[in-house]
Structure 1
Amino acid sequence: MNGVICTDNNILKITAAKVVGNYMLLLTFSSGEKRIFDATQLTGPAYEPLKDIKIFENFKLSHGVITWMDEEIDCAPEYMYKNSYEYTELNISKQKV
């Protein structure tokens, strides 16, 4: 569908997020699916401030989108979904080691 991920005729949104490791986010999507996103793949000048772990960890969820720095930086939920992997408890325990 033109690269847009939909669930029940709605555009995919992030409903919950938390930091679970070094630049890793556990994301819950509006589909109910939980996935792990490695934010080190966010590169380029727009994402340069996120190299500061304090800035990275200080994200907000705004209308289904992860944002940083008072919404100056964001990342599309569709991108995060496509570039993440399925969540299992094993994923998280490996990251904490």
Structure 2
Amino acid sequence: MLVDVIEARHVRDFVVWVRFEDGTEGEVDLSTELYGPVFEPLKDITYFKQVAVDPELGTIAWPNGADIAPEFLYEKIQVHA
């Protein structure tokens, strides 16, 4: 079952809060997930704060095209719930 992200915002440091279309919501710390060329710009906190929901992808994304799989975000929230 794939559930889309419908809302997201920067919380602090490299933590984002997300809400899914099924009502599940929570914070995800992405500080250990920012590796690889596409994620390099996100290590700059000013750039990281530009996180937004990409409605076509159903997940969070940044202006350079970096995105995080919604399944990964959902699992992270479920583990910490």
Q: Same fold (TM over 0.5)?
A: yes
Residue identity opposite 2:14 in structure 1: Y
- Under a length normalisation based on structure 2, what TM-score does the superposition of the two structures give? 0.82
Query: Distance between the aligned counterparts of 2:20 and 2:3, measured in 1?
Result: 7
Query: Distance between the aligned counterparts of 2:13 and 2:27, measured in 1?
Result: 12
Runs of 4+ aligned structure 1 residues displaced above 6 Å come to: none
Unaligned stretches of 5+ residues in structure 2: none
Query: Distance between the aligned counterparts of 1:43 and 1:18, measured in 2?
Result: 17
**1:5-24 alignment, distance < 5 Å:** 6=1, 11-24=2-15
1:82 aligned residue (71, 75, 78): 75
Secondary structure of residue in 2 paired with 1:50: helix
**Residue 28 (structure 1) aligns with:** 19
Select the structure of larger CA radius of gyration: 1
Pairwise CA distance, 1:31: 1.1
1:71-97 deviation line (CA, Å, top 9, x unaligned)? x101111011112333xxxxxxxxxxx
Contact 2:59 2:68 in 1 (8 A): yes
Secondary structure of residue in 1 paired with 2:67: strand
Q: Percent identity?
A: 26
1:23-81 deviation line (CA, Å, top 9, x unaligned)? 111110111011110011213213111100111001221122111124x1011110111
Number of corresponding residues: 76
**Residue 62 (structure 1) aligns with:** 54
Residue identity opposite 1:73 in structure 2: A
Contact 2:59 2:69 in 1 (8 A): yes
